[in-house]
Amino acid sequence: MKPLDAARERWISLAEKFAAERADDDAWLRDLRAESLARFADQGFPNTKQEEWRYTRVTPMAEVPFQLGCPATTPVTRSAIEDKASPVFACSLYVFVDGRFEPALSALATRTDVHVESLRALDTAIEPPLGSLVDTKQHPFAALSTALLDDGAVLRVPKGAQVTDPLHLVFVATGSREPRATQPRLFIDASENSRVQVIQDFVSLSDDVGLTNGVSEIRVGAGAQVDLVTIQRENAGSFHFSNVSARLGRDARFSHHNLTLGGRLVRNDLEVVLEEEGADCTLNGLFIGAGEQVIDNHTLLDHAVPHGTSRQLYKGILGGRSRGVFRGRVIVRPNAQKTVAYQSNPNLLLTTGARVDSKPQLEIYANDVKCGHGSSIGQLDQDAIFYLRTRAISEPRARQLLTRGFAQQILAALPVAALTEGLHEPLGDRLAEATSSPGSKP
Amino acid sequence: MSESPNAELEKLANREYQYGFVTDIEEDRAPPGLNEDIVRLISSKKEEPEWLLKWRLKALRRFLELLENETEPTWSHVHYPKIDYQKIVYYSAPKQNVQLESLDEVDPELLATYDKLGISLLEQKRLSGVAVDAIFDSVSVATTFKDELEKQGILFCSFSEAVRKYPDLVQKYLGSVVPYADNFFACLNSAVFSDGSFAYIPKGVRCPMELSTYFRINSAGTGQFERTLLIADEGAYVSYLEGCTAPQRDENQLHAAVVELIALDDATIKYSTVQNWYPGDENGVGGIFNFVTKRGACRGKRSKISWTQVETGSAITWKYPSCILQGDDSVGEFYSVALTTKHQQADTGTKMFHIGKNTRSTIISKGIAAGHGEQSYRGLVHIGPKAEGARNYSQCDSLLLGDQCGAHTFPYLEVENASAQVEHEATTSKIGEDQLFYCRQRGLTEEDAISMIVNGFCKEVLRELPMEFAVEAQSLLGLSLEGSVG
């Protein structure tokens, strides 16, 4: 049997065992898992013959015999979290250890402006229903994640609420010698005219191989604003798959900032549908590759109605023998007139052996629109390096400065100023790693 | 603003195809169907050598395999009913028994056809200095200026003649750029190609005139499978023109051509196309399916291949003229204007494979969609690991006229070398009301203003066309915009 088929069988039996263990869960949850499992079974793991997975082989992940995440044997300390997930927003910190909510590490101040709950502890129904915002027919990993759904964060922002401090959700992988898989879930429902900022932080506490297969579902109500920052800084042996799916209501604003700093094989799928008029969407991304890393970003922006605006900026910095992929798809549906959509994907190749595949796409079925995209792949400007050297700055330092400048645009655009400042150092470390990562011989 | 632009657009969409007429000439045709007998028949009609027949049969077997496994490509952004490859007539030749020495001997009806198309061979021969190898359905019927070219050592003739006269050159290069199993349609073409053009420019020769071929599809229910092979030896230069118009038919006609270009050291090939085949009527009935494989190999150092195309016809266009930049410092260019109206669909673009060092490529693509037209740019820029200092610049702009049409951009950029620089940019918009207002305020009618803006939009591409073609291309675009568009 081919590795992907074997893996499919293995995961299906894992999910069936999981379902049997959780026979006491609510009926809706059991049904959701069963339906998602059927969808995963239909699709199996994707191969590179599929257009959506053309540049990314998932075989390395499929070959690892993952076990489902179980609670950590050694307790996780608060200081370990603060160390890895810096800067920490202590007043609104929510920690998930191997996929499970950990109240002891979380700030449990009884908030009135926003309801943050663990999915397992949830006693009221979620509306729109969980799993309805992500298309599990198209995304095998989202289907698998939902089939194994255990715990997650449910954020409900009441009508008109203005949440001033960012909510910091840290998903910690403790690691064990037997590789573990977790399925973190984030659900955000921002009601009319509310406003919230959320930071989703993925960290590992050890160097063990792990799999994070997360799904985030976001509904942004009329006039509401949601800013979501995703920071992925897991260890160099981690596999990370994520599906972020957002639906925007009338005059809603949504921004997503996706920082990929770690992992071995990372695939981010992002889907935003502008469902009602006047919605606005910003998608920013920064991915930094080193070593043998593969980072694949797929975005889909669906302008379903008139008067929507969107802008995307995904920047890639690739060192060593790493590979970066960007595929951005913008669809402007018939009648979605007055749409303004821009998309840009500049990439920096630092070493011989690094590779970038960029595939920005525009599909436009309406005429009164302004749409554009751009993509570039290149190196640091020789003139700029020369200029800095004439100012007595060494060449390595000059390269570092310029690379930093390239990345800074995304960092500076983060919605939380404290985060921009706090990430300055981790980002510098990561850039140094990418710059010094050896490439292959020319 | 007034409603007139839409009304004008409708007028454009409803414009009758001007070149829709059928020339009534007796022809020699094979029964429909695809099998070994047909391939053997074509090959024997052409008096081909054994190796070519074998090559065709290899291709046929592969194609039948592909057909059986249902691997007809579906990835392109076009929709059409399934083609029954067994219903197509694969061979049809106008009946002409003797080889003609001069144009006077050509069937007068045939010449009249060209006149209606505005291509008078005689006139061209006399005035413009263009040698025309006219292809009428599948057999080359008139070749002009051959003697003059021969003096320079340039070989320019129909493909079947080349097979007879220069078998070594044909055998050496045929299928070397587009192998018989390259893709579904190239495979079909390799099995059943009937004729085409062949040109060889010897070392250091600059071809003194534009080589030109006019294609016509004339016979009902026949597919046309042309094969063009163009070789520019070291230091040679050639500019090749290809233009097409087709008569009006109700059933869809398949055209699956293959063009292979080979440029050796320091050679330059410029290949220009104006394609104006029957696009189907306003309900999307009929029209040509234009599924073409065009590829050039820059084999030599400092060689250059430049593709320019103006695509205004065909119900469906599926075409990606490509460059394989093998030689160090070689250059590939692609300039394209594609216009889709009525129910036309076009999925077109290019592929640039950078293999050699310091290779450069430029892609300029302009798409105009009106009516229910669907328009896609699909392009690949691949920079191989050894292509040090490779450089690419791509720009793809789309103009949407009307709210029922679509424009799409699917670029693929694959870079495996850190010293490469690749840039891609695309925009999609309609003609700005402020632009129109500005022109109108300067005393232009709306129609003139739009015509001017569209011409300006395409200018970067049109100016790449040789003079002879630029005129035709502009008038083609002009016709489409006539009264219209505003």
Whether the CB of A344 is below 8 Å from some CB of chain B: the reply is: no
- Residue A174 confidence (pLDDT): 86
Contacts of A346 in chain B (CB under 8 A): none
Residue A356 forms part of a structural domain: yes
Confidence band for B36, pLDDT divided at 50, 70 and 90: confident
Residue with the larger pLDDT of the pair A441 and B144? A441
pLDDT digits (tens, 9 = 90+) for B176-209: 898 888 888 888 888 888 778 888 999 999 888 7
Three-class SS of B283-330: CCCCCEEEEEEEEEEECCCCCEEEEEEEECCCCEEEECCEEEECCCCC
Q: Is the peptide bond before A128 cis (omega within 30 degrees of 0)?
A: yes
pTM: 0.83
Is the confidence at residue A368, as pLDDT, over 50? yes
Q: Which residues contact A313 (CB under 8 A, 6 or more apart)?
A: A283, A284, A285, A344, A345, A409, A410, A413
Tokens, residue B291: 């599924």
Whether the CB of B418 is below 8 Å from some CB of chain A: the reply is: yes
Confidence band for A279, pLDDT divided at 50, 70 and 90: very high
- Whether A372 and B427 lie within 8 Å, measured CB to CB: yes
Tokens, residue A298: 């797929």
B-chain residue closest to A327, CA distance: B412
pLDDT digits (tens, 9 = 90+) for B362-414: 999 998 888 888 888 999 999 999 999 999 999 988 888 877 888 888 999 99
Query: Which range scores top for mean pLDDT: B154-163, B287-296, B323-332?
Result: B323-332
Is the confidence at residue B19, as pLDDT, over 60? no
Q: Which amino acid is at A368?
A: D
Confidence band for B478, pLDDT divided at 50, 70 and 90: low
Is the confidence at residue A442, as pLDDT, over 60? no
Residue B5 forms part of a structural domain: no
d(CA A422, CA A341): 31
d(CA B162, CA B171): 10
- Residue B312 confidence (pLDDT): 82
Whether the CB of A374 is below 8 Å from some CB of chain B: the reply is: yes
Tokens, residue B58: 């290899």
B-chain residue closest to A369, CA distance: B429
Whether the CB of B390 is below 8 Å from some CB of chain A: the reply is: no
β-pair partners for A57: none
- Most distant pair of Cα atoms in chain A: their distance: 71
Give the minimum alpha-carbon distance from A137 to chain B in angstroms, rounded to a whole number: 19
- Residue B339 confidence (pLDDT): 86
Dihedrals phi, psi of A384, to nearest 5 degrees: -65, -40
Whether the CB of B421 is below 8 Å from some CB of chain A: the reply is: yes
Whether the CB of B420 is below 8 Å from some CB of chain A: the reply is: yes
Dihedrals phi, psi of B235, to nearest 5 degrees: 70, 5
- Whether B409 and A375 lie within 8 Å, measured CB to CB: no
The whole domain housing B219 covers: 27-431
For chain B, first and last CA: distance in Å? 12
Whether the CB of A352 is below 8 Å from some CB of chain B: the reply is: yes
Confidence band for A267, pLDDT divided at 50, 70 and 90: very high
- Residue A388 confidence (pLDDT): 95
Average of per-residue pLDDT across B271-300:
83
- Whether A358 and B429 lie within 8 Å, measured CB to CB: no
Give the minimum alpha-carbon distance from B75 to chain A in angstroms, rounded to a whole number: 9
- Residue B223 confidence (pLDDT): 53
- Residue B146 confidence (pLDDT): 66
Percentage of residues of chain B with pLDDT beyond 90: 20
Is the confidence at residue B141, as pLDDT, over 60? no
Average of per-residue pLDDT across B442-456:
83
pLDDT digits (tens, 9 = 90+) for A59-105: 999 888 888 876 556 788 888 888 888 788 877 889 998 888 888 88
Of B409, B418, B423, the CB nearest to A379: B418
- Residue B92 confidence (pLDDT): 67
Confidence band for B456, pLDDT divided at 50, 70 and 90: confident
Average of per-residue pLDDT across B14-43:
67
d(CA A360, CA A376): 11
C-beta of residue B276 within 8 angstroms of C-beta of residue B244: yes
β-pair partners for B393: B362, B423
A-chain residue closest to B427, CA distance: A372
A-chain residue closest to B393, CA distance: A376
Of A337, A375, A439, the CB nearest to B424: A375
- Residue A312 confidence (pLDDT): 94
Confidence band for A225, pLDDT divided at 50, 70 and 90: very high
- Whether A377 and B412 lie within 8 Å, measured CB to CB: no
Residue A401 forms part of a structural domain: yes
How many Cα atoms sit within 13 Å of A40 on the Cβ side? 27
Contacts of A353 in chain B (CB under 8 A): 385, 418
Of A350, A354, A369, the CB nearest to B428: A369
Confidence band for A333, pLDDT divided at 50, 70 and 90: very high
Is the confidence at residue B451, as pLDDT, over 90? no
Q: What is the total count of domains within chain B?
A: 1
Pairing relation of β-strands A280-289 and A180-182? Answer: unpaired
d(CA B235, CA B204): 4
Best mutation site among A51, A375, A440 for testing chain B: the one with the most B CBs within 10 Å? A375
d(CA B315, CA B302): 38
Is the confidence at residue B118, as pLDDT, over 60? no
Contacts of A365 in chain B (CB under 8 A): 405-406
Which residue from A265, A261, A176 is spatially nearest to A212, judged by alpha carbons?
Answer: A265
Residue B477 forms part of a structural domain: no
A90 three-state secondary structure? helix
Contacts of A376 in chain B (CB under 8 A): 421-424
Q: What is the total count of domains within chain A?
A: 1
C-beta of residue B159 within 8 angstroms of C-beta of residue B229: yes
C-beta of residue B121 within 8 angstroms of C-beta of residue B111: yes
Whether the CB of A340 is below 8 Å from some CB of chain B: the reply is: no
- Whether A369 and B416 lie within 8 Å, measured CB to CB: no
Best mutation site among B375, B424, B435, B436 for testing chain A: the one with the most A CBs within 10 Å? B424
- Residue B24 confidence (pLDDT): 55
Best mutation site among A327, A349, A368, A369 for testing chain B: the one with the most B CBs within 10 Å? A349
Is the confidence at residue B467, as pLDDT, over 90? no
Confidence band for A252, pLDDT divided at 50, 70 and 90: very high
Q: What is the ipTM of this complex?
A: 0.81
Contacts of A355 in chain B (CB under 8 A): 414-416
d(CA B390, CA B357): 6
Residue B401 forms part of a structural domain: yes
- Residue B472 confidence (pLDDT): 67
Residue A43 forms part of a structural domain: no
Size of interface A-B (CB pairs under 8 A): 120
Average of per-residue pLDDT across A322-332:
93
Confidence band for A342, pLDDT divided at 50, 70 and 90: very high
Is the confidence at residue B486, as pLDDT, over 70? no
Give the minimum alpha-carbon distance from B431 to chain A in angstroms, rounded to a whole number: 9
Give the minimum alpha-carbon distance from A234 to chain B in angstroms, rounded to a whole number: 26
The whole domain housing A416 covers: 70-436
Q: Which amino acid is at B243?
A: G
CB atoms within 10 A of CB B3: 7
B6 three-state secondary structure? helix
Confidence band for B25, pLDDT divided at 50, 70 and 90: low
Is the confidence at residue B115, as pLDDT, over 60? no
C-beta of residue A291 within 8 angstroms of C-beta of residue A283: no
Whether the CB of A64 is below 8 Å from some CB of chain B: the reply is: no
Is the confidence at residue A244, as pLDDT, over 90? yes
Of A350, A365, A370, the CB nearest to B429: A370
Whether the CB of B407 is below 8 Å from some CB of chain A: the reply is: yes
CA B238 to centroid of chain Cα atoms: 17
Of A51, A355, A375, the CB nearest to B75: A51
Average of per-residue pLDDT across B240-250:
61
d(CA B282, CA B297): 39
Residue B450 forms part of a structural domain: no
Contacts of B75 in chain A (CB under 8 A): 51
B-chain residue closest to A338, CA distance: B429
Contacts of A348 in chain B (CB under 8 A): none
